[in-house]
Structure 1
Amino acid sequence: MRASHGSTALGALLAVTLAIPAYAAPFPWMPPPVNMCGETGFDPLNRLPDPAAPPAPLPPYVPPSIDIPVVVPELTPVPLPDPPHDNTRVAQVPLPSDPCLNPCPEVRDTPEPEDGIEESDDTSPSSGSGSGSGTGSSSGSGLPRIRLKPERETIPIPVPGGEGEPAQEAPPRVVRPVEPGPLRPAVAAPVVESVRLVEQVTGHGSNNRTDMRWQVDGTDLGLFWETEPGKVAMVFGDTFGEGWEYGGAGSDTADWRSNVLAYSTDTDLDDGLVIDSMVQDSPCHAAELLGSRKIENWETTTIPTSGFAIGNRQYLSYMSVNHWSKIPGMWLTNYGGLAYSDDGGQTWTKDQHARWENMFGVGRFQVAAMVPHGEYVYMFGTPNGRIGVIGLARVRAADVLNKTAYQYWVDGNWAPAAENSATPLVGGTASELSVRFDADSGQWQMVYLDAVAGKIVLRTAAQPQGRWTSAVPLLSTEDYPMAYGGFIHPWSTARDLYFTMSAWQSYNVYLMHARLNPPG
């Protein structure tokens, strides 16, 4: 997982964290799905193997080689300040009326028709023995070959650079008083009648054909918010283009962008989600919204965590990732921050003061889900990694970029300047939060990954601070191996919950539909 910045990033963050084993009976075998153009997509379900396929070769009893990692320091200059982000943008040209036509043949070759499923080359160690014995021993002794495997460890060295972004004026300091925030009685939890996979939203074989239209072959997350009535934005995490291969994240040579953004006006989600356009920096190429230095142990990437709109201004919460840990599901952030856009999401400005620093790695609001409601914006947050607890803060909408104006929910009160004392909202650990308020039922919905249980779960409450119901499972990594995410579509209801799920191996985004039976 350390072969490149890109693979390190996504491997540590996005493979389901604690490697929960799959004990459920696999689903019956089915061929991979095929889109309207005859292109083969990805099936994220845990299925039995193809009965017509030849049996997989057994691995050798003794491995042909044993790699011993050796850390090799690599001094890497980091020019400061950060250079200005490239905000070159081009308009979305009308897509061909025939969805199977290549919209940009000058950018990417039209794929050959697919006659069937391509079999991957056998690159297992058992086929790489020079002696043919399967032991990998050059002496024929049957012992594995011991190899030293260098692993780069970036050592960032700050150096003077060119001109950076202009300095932003700090907002005036605001100190809100302590105000009561009592709990309401818990509401009854909904019953999940069914959960189904609606469709693959991104990547090769999707009906959106994001690989051909916007050079989005591999991506994840798919966070939603309503930008204006009848239109939603959908932002993705680390994204890879041509050269990405099945098996997880790509590499920094596969057209790596830390984040990209799409728009949709599709109101009929029962048969899938249609992407109308994406923010582009050149024809048929999705642009990176929030820049990152892409330097491990400094700033590896910048991952969006939620989006929302107040008036005509769009906001993104995001985390600046310092590096991904060797421990699955753990990573270290530099800070959690806010960015805003005044041109409908085409270009974004990182606010230099709306940042929650991660001092000593214990910051409580590094991964945030932010929801405007009434006069406040509520911020649900977790620490870096996937084994943190959920905290809550609020701020008046007019002060959303003023960190000093935030109040944190602590022991039944809204308290200023208490971010690391926020009372956990629920028991257990959580990651990749998604929260919405359902106006029809008057209840809040929260979906997140419980990595310890290996499930994406739902909770509901009458108000942001709770009391929240017990966790209701929506799907399990036993059925969807290495699934993560769970980001709610804003046009969901108390009866029909639509959310995105990401799968690590296929490294793409899927639309899910949960049919709920809300309490009367």
Structure 2
Amino acid sequence: MAIGAVLTLAASGLTVLSSPTASAEPCGGIGGPGSSPLFGSSGSAGGGPEKNPRGPQGQLPAISGNATSVAWVTGPLSPNNTYDRFGISGTDLGISWDNGSGQTLMAFGDTFGNCSVTGAQWRSNVLLRSDDKNLADGITVADGVPGDSTSGAVVEPAGFASEVVPSLGVAGVEDTVIPTAAISIGGVQYMNYMSVRSWGAPGRWVTNFSAIATSKDNGQSWQTAAATIRVNAGITIPAFPQVEERNGKYQMNAYAEGQDGYIYQFGTPNGRFGAAFVARVKPEEILDLTKYEYSTQDQAKPWSTNVADSKSVVTEPVSELSVAWNDTLKRYVMLYGNEVDRTIVARTSEKPEGPWSAPKTLLNSRQTSGGIYAPYIHPLSSGNDLYFTASRWSDYNVLLLRTNVDVLK
């Protein structure tokens, strides 16, 4: 299905939406909605000749307690100096996964470069790579080499980080395309992303669809698998599994490798106030929506191939979640943001479908100003160390944090 056809179908959207995280935006402008408040087509990035070209990033916030700050991952003040090396003054998310060959890939959301130019060199998303195996002092990213699929970034000839999954960049049609989850299966990379149609009031946005893009060259190039598009149109057309009202439950996602051989996909609606749902699929069938099974939370019939039977496994509000098996705890760990309490929380469970433990607060708004959101578990977490990336809104950049899994017991 072509993107244009999908956008035509998505005439209305599921409106399970959210509140803002903080009051700044990428080039130091006024607060906007969502994890990315920008209209890619309009150049409203806060950019302009009066702006600092390098953006608003400050020093690493000193965070301690159940979570501690380790180092900036992105930004001009990070050890990676992503502004001078990749043209990145600000970005968010930093979803990380093992590429299957021991290298960590990281997908970022809306990204900005020189804030003093119109449009601030906006890109919908970028991708970095790291060979760093020691996270105690942060994540090191090597130089990007054009055309080199193992180098530190997907870059253009001048070293400028490229947009890897294109968006139309048209406000009200397809404003941007934002990664929400990724996983490697058999040497192929799979990235789940959301197509954002429009930003609403602060913290609120509407998606056209979610979909899976694949890469066979270690993230260098991506192609959307049309059969994986989950249209968010608020309607159901029985002959088309892609157009089902309940597909709105899987607009933002997280992947986890199950201990039973399944891939588990956790989903939430667009925005930050929805509940979390879970589906499972065999790795070799990840691109076939008809093969997914959804947790019904019914002991008599726990799984169904009908997405309409999907019931929540964690109640709202759940935003930008990540899930991974933890060998130390022998349980799955889930991290996500609670936008009502302004906290980053963790839950654990013996099974992906739950029951999940009560939430444990890792970070709250009183510990740091600037609004930290989007906690994504790093695949090299081991022993008692659970590492995760998160984004700080006031700096609009990604940092690495660490927690001791003992606090989750």
- TM-score normalised by the chain length of structure 2: 0.78
Q: Give the alignment partner of residue 266 of structure 2, picking from 380, 385, 394.
A: 380
CA distance in 2, matches of 1:9, 1:367: 26
Shift of 1:45: 4.0
Assess if the C-alpha contact under 8 Å between 1:333 and 1:384 holds in 2. Answer: yes
Q: Which residue of 2 aligns with 1:230?
A: 102
Letter of the 2:271 counterpart: G
Query: Is 1:371 the equivalent of 2:256?
Result: yes
Q: Which residue of 2 aligns with 1:347?
A: 221
Deviations 1:370-425 (A, max 9, x none): 2233432111000011100000101111110011111110133110122x442111
Gap runs ≥5 in structure 1: 17-39, 48-191, 245-250
Assess if the C-alpha contact under 8 Å between 2:57 and 2:394 holds in 1. Answer: no
| Secondary structure of 1:506 counterpart | coil
Query: Cα gap change, 1:308/1:6 in structure 2, threshold over 3 Å: closer, same or farther?
Result: farther
Q: Which residue of 2 aligns with 1:444?
A: 332
Shift of 1:9: 12
Q: Give the alignment partner of residue 120 of structure 2, picking from 247, 254, 257.
A: 254
Q: Which residue of 2 aligns with 1:471?
A: 359
Q: Give the alignment partner of residue 278 of structure 1, picking from 141, 153, 164.
A: 153
Deviations 1:454-512 (A, max 9, x none): 10111111110011111111111222231111111011136111111111111011111
Between 1:216-225 and 1:405-414, the stretch displaced more is: 405-414
Deviations 1:274-327 (A, max 9, x none): 01211112221111110000011110000000110001100000000000112x
Shift of 1:519: 7.4
| Secondary structure of 1:364 counterpart | helix
Letter of the 1:271 counterpart: D
Q: Which residue of 2 aligns with 1:427?
A: 315
Q: Give the alignment partner of residue 211 of structure 2, picking from 318, 321, 337.
A: 337
Letter of the 1:453 counterpart: D
| Aligned residue pairs, count | 344
Deviations 1:115-142 (A, max 9, x none): xxxxxxxxxxxxxxxxxxxxxxxxxxxx
Assess if the C-alpha contact under 8 Å between 2:329 and 2:405 holds in 1. Answer: no
Q: Give the alignment partner of residue 455 of structure 1, picking from 343, 364, 376.
A: 343
Assess if the C-alpha contact under 8 Å between 1:237 and 1:304 holds in 2. Answer: yes
Letter of the 2:94 counterpart: G
CA distance in 2, matches of 1:450, 1:204: 29
Q: Which residue of 1 aligns with 2:132?
A: 266
| Secondary structure of 1:427 counterpart | coil
Query: Cα gap change, 1:380/1:519 in structure 2, threshold over 3 Å: closer, same or farther?
Result: closer
Gap runs ≥5 in structure 2: 1-19, 38-55, 143-151, 235-244
CA distance in 2, matches of 1:10, 1:281: 31
Deviations 1:145-195 (A, max 9, x none): xxxxxxxxxxxxxxxxxxxxxxxxxxxxxxxxxxxxxxxxxxxxxxx9642
Q: Which residue of 1 aligns with 2:379?
A: 490
Q: Name the structure where strand makes up a greater proportion of residues.
A: 1
Letter of the 1:208 counterpart: N
CA distance in 2, matches of 1:13, 1:513: 25
CA distance in 1, matches of 2:26, 2:71: 30
Deviations 1:408-461 (A, max 9, x none): 10133110122x442111233101011111245431111000101110111111
Shift of 1:46: 8.8
Assess if the C-alpha contact under 8 Å between 1:303 and 1:319 holds in 2. Answer: yes
State the identity as a percent.
35
CA distance in 1, matches of 2:385, 2:283: 29
CA distance in 1, matches of 2:328, 2:158: 41
Letter of the 1:235 counterpart: A
Query: Is 1:289 the equivalent of 2:178?
Result: no
Superposed CA RMSD: 2.8
- TM-score normalised by the chain length of structure 1: 0.62
Q: Which residue of 1 aligns with 2:35?
A: 14
